[in-house]
Amino acid sequence: MNNMQQMFAKAQKLQAKMAEVQKGLENREVSGTSGSGAVTVVMTVSGVVKSISIDKELINPDEKDLLEDLIVAALGDARFESAKIYDTEMSAVTGGLNLPGMF
């Protein structure tokens, strides 16, 4: 029974540490780019878009579709960077263990 209590206590500590890391990542910012830097998106690791910067040479009504595609690509790039940071931080907390349902 004592072993089970120790495991439960360790799991609670791990869960608390993971929550602490997640909270710290909420405001951490990453950026994603597309079009060789013509479009830049800054977002938090939790996915909140903070800003979008567009090179003024891209603002052409005749190329609206291209601009929209570049924004989507920059968002995807920023999301990819966010996922890498999140995975790295959580892996550091869990020691590389994949804990289903924990995140």
Hey, what domains does the chain have and what are their CATH numbers? 2-94 (3.30.1310.10)
Q: Is 0.75 surpassed by the pTM of this model?
A: no
Q: Per residue in 24-41, pLDDT tens?
A: 888 899 999 999 999 999
How far, in Å, CA of 99 to CA of 32, rounded? 29
Instruction: Work out the end-to-end distance of the chain between its first and last CA atoms, rounded to an integer number of angstroms.
Output: 28
Whether the predicted pLDDT of 100 surpasses 60: no
Q: Per residue in 42-91, pLDDT tens?
A: 999 888 999 999 999 889 989 999 999 999 999 999 999 999 998 888 88
In sequence order, what are the residues at sequence separation of 6 or more whose Cβ sits closer than 8 angstroms to the Cβ of residue 94? Answer: 14, 18, 102
